[in-house]
Amino acid sequence: MGLCWKAVGKEGGLRIRWQVGAISAEDSDRSLRPAERQMAGSEAQRGDEPCSEPLLFTLPLSPSLPPPLCSMPQDLSEALKEATKEVHVQAENAEFMKNFQKGQVTRKGFKLVMASLYHIYVALEEEIERNKENPVYAPLYFPEELHRRAALERDMAFWYGPRWEDAIPYTQATRRYVRRLHEVGRKEPELLVAHAYTRYLGDLSGGQVLKKIAQKALDLPSSGEGVDFFTFPNVASATKFKQLYRSRMNTLEMTPEVRQRVIEEAKAAFLLNIQLFEELQELLAQDAEDQSPSQAPGLRRRVGSGARDAALTETPRGKPQPNLLSQAPLLRWVLTLSFVVATVAVGLYVM
C-alpha cells in the first residue's frame, strides 16, 4: 500500500493529508521533506482530488517530525517470529537439543521424545479438527499437508512394537503440554494459531536436519522407517509452503488485544517445549546413573560390615570369599614348613 495524498488549500500554507497502511495524519507543509512537498504541490495543481484510500483516523504530528513513511503494521507472522526469537534460542540451547544436534542421541532418548511428540500432536490435531471451520483458524487448515498423527503412529509401531499403545511413556511435562492444547482448543481457539505456527513450521524447518542426524546416529534405514514424523510427502517445497502458510496467517482478522495474546501464547508454546526437553534430559541422566559401573551389583560394597568387609571381596554371584592378603600369616607358616621339609629331604638324599 503506497502513500496516499490529498492536498487541501488553507490560509498560511498548503496542508497535506497522507496515509500509510492503516495510519493517516495531517500536518502543515513545513513538516514535509522537499521531495514530499513537491509531490504535494503537483497534487494541489490538479485540484482537490479524493484519496483512493479511506482515512481511518488522524494522527497529529509535531511540525519538527517527518511523516511516518514506513508505519505499516507488522504482519502477524513477522510479529511472531520477532517476539519468539529469544525463547527460540533458549529451546535450541536446551541440553537435550544441543546433544541431539551434535549427534549425541541414544535410542532411548529418541524413543522418549518421539513418544512425547505423539501425545502432543494427537491433542493438537484433535483441537484443530474441532475448530477447522472456525474463522479464527480455518485459513490454516492443511490436514493433508501437515498433520502428523498417522506418521507418528507408524513411528510408534517401529520403536515400541505392535502393542505400542500400551508401551509408550507419558511424562509429566508432556501431560502439561497436552493439557494446555486442549484448554486453548476448547476455550480460546483464537490462540490455536500460536501452537500450530510453533510446531508445524518448526517441523518443516529444523525438523529436517534432526531427521538426518537421527538416521546417522541411530543407524536407521534410509527408507525413512522410524523417522516418518519428519517426512511431509504432500509438501513439494517446504520453502514455498511456509510462505503460503505465513500469508494465510496474515489474513486472520483479530483485534490488537487478541493479536498480543497470540504472541504471548507462542512464547508459552516454546516454554512448554523447553520444559519437555529438560525433563527428558533428566530422565536420561537418571537412567545413566542407575546403569553406571559404580552401581553394578558385582562392585557394590556392603555397608556396616566393619573390619571384616576389608577381608572380603564379592564374586559375580555376590558370595563372600576370603581375601588372600588377609591370610598372610597362614601362608608364611605353610611356606616355612615346606622349606623345612625340603631341606630335610635334600639332606637325606645326599646321605
pLDDT at 292: 58
**Per-residue pLDDT reduced to its tens digit, 168-193:** 999 999 999 999 999 999 999 999 99
End-to-end CA distance of the chain: 127
pLDDT of 288 reads 78
Look up cell 520477532; give the residue.
82
As a whole number of angstroms, the distance between CA 151 and CA 149 comes to 5
**H-helix or E-strand spanning residue 207:** helix 206-217
What element of type H or E holds 13? strand 13-20
Query: DSSP E strands: which ranges in 265-319?
Result: 312-314
- pLDDT, tens digit, 9 for 90 and up, residues 216-244: 999 999 899 999 999 999 999 999 999 99
Please state which CATH number belongs to domain 80-285: 1.20.910.10
User: What pLDDT sits at residue 246?
Assistant: 97
* pLDDT score for 293: 54
Which of the residues in the chain have pLDDT under 70?
1-73, 290-351
Question: Which residue, among 148, 159, 144, 161, has the nearest Cα to 122 in the 3D structure?
Answer: 148
pLDDT number for residue 289: 73
pLDDT per residue as tens digits for the range 51-94:
443 433 334 444 444 444 444 458 999 999 999 999 999 999 99
pLDDT of 329: 54
- Sequence-separated (6 or more) residues with CB below 8 Å from residue 186: 127, 130
Q: Give me the residue spans of the domains in the chain.
A: 80-285
